[in-house]
Amino acid sequence: MEEPRVGVFVCYCGRNIGAYVNVPEVVEYVKGLPNVVHAEHNLYTCSEEGISAIKKGIQEFNLNRVVVASCTPRTHEPLFRSACEAAGLNKYLFEFVNIRDQCSWVHMGEPEKSTEKAKDLIRMGVAKARLLEPLEEIEIAVTPSALVIGGGVVGMSAALNLAEQGFEVHLVERERELGGTLLDVHKIFTANEEASKLIGALAGRVKAHDKIEVYLSANVKDVSGFIGNFDVTLAQNGKESKIGVGTIIVATGAEVLKPTGQYGYGKFPNVITQLELEERLKNGNLDGQNIVMINCVGARVPERTYCSRICCMTSIKNASLIKELNPKARVWILHRDLMTYGVDFEDYYRRSMEHGVRFIRYNLERRPEVIGKGKAERIKVYHELRKRELELPCDILVLTTPLIPREDNQEISRLLKVSLDEFGFLLEAHLKLRPVEFAMDGIYVCGSARWPTDVSEGISQAYAAAAKAAGPLRMGYVKPEAITSLVNEDVCAGCGLCVQVCPFGAMQLVSKDGKRVSEVTVAQCKGCGTCGATCPSGAITMNHFRDEEIMAQLEALIA
C-alpha cells in the first residue's frame, strides 16, 4: 500500500466549535502527527469555500486520505465524501471526526478539556484514516413506489405530487377517512375558504388517481430494509399485509393541546379550545354575545417554550368569523405577542381590527383570571398598554393552544429509526442543508409532524418531500455503502458461526475447491459487523470498520 498522505480540515463551524475549541492550536497539533502532510482550518467546511479547500488540498498536497473534523457524519459525510470523489479520491478514503455534537457543544464550560478532547479524537481519526482502503459500491435496484404515512392535507398533497410524477404511492391513514385535522376545521386563513372544500377536492383526486392506493383505518406496524428497498408491514382491520417501497414520507401531523386545569378548561362547559370552536362555527351555533380568547395558553411558557406559529392567525380568523356571523358580538383577543408575519397575515390582522375585534395585550407575570360559578362569567385582565385592570363579560372563553407532537411520534421514531427533538417533534437531518429529510436515507418528513405549520407551508413542504422522495425512484437504483463483509477463504475454517449470527441471511456455507467456506451475498449484507466480531478465525473483514482500523483508533487513544 502506498504511503498515506493525510490532509486534515478542522472546522470552526462559526462559533459552534470555534468558541469552545482552540481551533488554531488543534491545527498546529495535528500538523505534527505522523503522515499528516497538510492541516488547515475552515470557517465552515461544508460551505462552497470549504469544499473547494478540500478539493484544492487534495490536488495541491497530493493527499490520498482526508480527515474532516467538524460536526457529525450523520449530516455531512456524504457531502465531504463527494468532495473527495470530485477530486479523484475514492470516497472511502475519507474519515469524519465529530468535534461539535460530541465535543464542543457538550463541554461548553470547559474549553481546555474540549480542545484536548478534539486533539485526541482527531489523532484517533487520523490513525484510522491511515489504514483506510478504497472500496467499490454496487448498484441495487429500487422498488419504484413510495409510502406516505398520514392522509391529511399534507400527506395527500405529497401523495398526489408523487403520483403525478408517475410513481406508485401507498397512502396509509389511521382514521376511517382522509382529511386529518382539517376535517375539524371550519375555514382556513387568509382567504377564509372552507376547509371541507379543500380537503374534499384533494381526497377526491387522491381516490380517483390510479397510481395511489389508499389504506384507511390502517397503521404501519413494522419497517425494515433501507433506501430503495423498504419492507413495510401494514395492519388494517386486524389483518396484516406486506408491501415493498423505495422511499417513505411521514406526514402524520400534530395534535392540539387540551389545556386541562388551565382557565377552567375541563371544569366550565363554556371554556373551549380553538379547535372546539371550529366545530361550533361550522354548525353556526354560537350562543353568546361576548367571546373572549386567550392566546399562548400552554405555549411560550417554561414547560413548552416554543411558539406554535399558527395560533395567532387562527384566533384572529375565528374572531373575524364570529363577527361575520354576528356583527353585534363583542370579541376580545387577549394576547402576548402577535405573530402575523408577512404581507397577507398583517393585512388580515388589520382588517380584523377594522371589523371590531379588540386586542388586549397581557403579560405572563399577570395572567388573565377567570371568574364565575359553574361557568366562566367574567375575565379579569391587566391591560398592559392602558395599565388598567379590566373585567370583560364572557359567554364563551376560547383558549388558543399550541400544536403538540402526537403521542405516536415515539412509535414512529422507533419504527423508522428517526430522531425526535427536545419537544417530541420529528427531527430532520439539518434545518437548512437538509430540510424535509431525515438522517435516515430514503425517509422524509413534512407538515406539523416536524413543527407546527399552516396549510400553505405544509403543502410546500409536501411538494419538497415528494421531490426528494422521487429522486431514488427515478434513478432506478441506489448504491448502498460498501461497508460490507468479506471472507478470506484461506483463513475460513467453515465453522458456520457467521451463518448463524447474520440477521439478514447474507452468509452461507459453500464448497470451494473441496473446502467448505463461508460466502457473503453482498446485496444482502448490511454491514452490521456481527459476523466479523463472531468469527473465531479472524477470517472476516468488515470493510471500512476493519479490526486493524478500530485497533489503530484505540492505540491512538492516549498520546
Partner 1 sequence: MDGLEPKDGFDPKIVGFCCNWCSYAGADLAGVSRMQYAPNIRIIRVMCSGRVDPAFILKALEVGADGVLIAGCHPGDCHYMAGNYKAARRIALLKKMLEQFGIEGERVRLEWVSASEGAKFAEVVNDFTQTVKELGPNPFGKQD
Q: Does 432 bind partner 1 (CB under 8 A)?
A: no
90 belongs to the binding site for partner 1 (CB under 8 A): no
Pick the binder of partner 1 from 410, 456, 511, 521 (CB under 8 A): 410
420 binds partner 1 (CB under 8 A): yes
Q: How far apart are CA 454 and CA 450, in angstroms?
A: 12
> Residue from 65, 117, 170, 309 that binds partner 1 (CB under 8 A)?
117
The rounded distance, in Å, linking the Cα atoms of 179 and 143 is 28
Integer Cα distance of 273 and 181 in angstroms? 14
Q: At closest approach, how far in Å is the CB of 54 from partner 1?
A: 20
Q: Which stretch binds partner 1 (CB under 8 A): 130-138, 303-311, 328-336, 529-537?
A: 529-537
By CB under 8 A, is residue 106 in contact with partner 1? yes
Please give the residues from 438 up to 467 whose contact with partner 1 meets the rule CB under 8 A: 439
- In the range 164-183, which residues lie near partner 1 by CB under 8 A? none
Report helix, strand or coil for 418: coil
**Contact between 479 and partner 1 (CB under 8 A)?**
no
Closest distance between partner 1 and the C-beta of residue 545, in Å?
6
| Phi (first) and psi of residue 166, to 5 degrees | 100, 10
Convert residues 134-153 into a mask of x (bound to partner 1 by CB under 8 A) and - (unbound). --------------------
Using CB under 8 A as the binding rule, the residues of this chain from 210 to 269 that contact partner 1 are 224
Contact call for residue 423 and partner 1 (CB under 8 A):
no
Q: Is 350 in the site for partner 1 (CB under 8 A)?
A: no
Smaller CB separation from partner 1, 334 or 556: 556
- Side chain identity at residue 14, one-letter code: G
Sign of the torsion angle spanned by Cα atoms 385, 386, 389, 395: negative
Is 101 near partner 1 (CB under 8 A)? yes
With CB under 8 A as the contact rule, the residue among 36, 54, 124, 146 that binds partner 1 is 124
Q: How far is the CB of 102 from partner 1 (least distance, A)?
A: 5
Which CA distances in Å does 191 have to 345, 354, 455?
Answer: 10, 17, 12
22 sits near partner 1 (criterion: CB under 8 A): no
- Give every CB contact of residue 517 below 8 A, 6+ residues apart in sequence: 487, 489, 492, 494, 509, 510, 511
Would you state the cell numbers that stand for residue 322, as one nine-digit string?
Answer: 364570529
Contact set for partner 1, span 60-79 (CB under 8 A): 72-74
Strand partners, 8: 39, 67
Q: How far is CA 129 from CA 7, 33, 60, in A?
A: 10, 12, 19
Minimal distance, residue 537 CB to partner 1, in Å: 13
Closer residue to partner 1 in complex, CB, 103/319: 103
Which of helix, strand or coil describes residue 120?
helix
Cell of 143: 422498488
Centre a 10 Å sphere on the Cβ of residue 179 and count the other Cβ atoms it contains: 22
C-alpha to C-alpha distance for 302 and 136, rounded to whole angstroms: 51
Count of all residues that appear for the chain in the document: 559
Q: Could you tell me if residue 433 is left (phi over 0), alpha (psi between -120 and 50 degrees) or otherwise beta? A: alpha
Question: Which CB atom, from 121 or from 178, has the smaller least distance to partner 1?
Answer: 121
Q: Is 422 in the site for partner 1 (CB under 8 A)?
A: yes
Q: Does 530 bind partner 1 (CB under 8 A)?
A: yes
The residue ranges of DSSP E strands in 48-138, in sequence order, are 65-70, 94-98
| 91 lines the binding site for partner 1 (CB under 8 A) | no
From 56, 242, 383, 417, residue interacting with partner 1 (rule: CB under 8 A) = 417
Helix, strand, or coil here: 200?
helix
> Which grid cell sits at 333?
383577543
Q: Which residues of this protein are in contact with partner 1, per CB under 8 A? A: 72-74, 98, 100-103, 105-110, 113-114, 116-117, 120-121, 124, 224, 410, 413-414, 417-422, 427, 439, 483, 501, 503-504, 526-530, 532-534, 542, 545, 547, 550-551, 553-555, 557-558
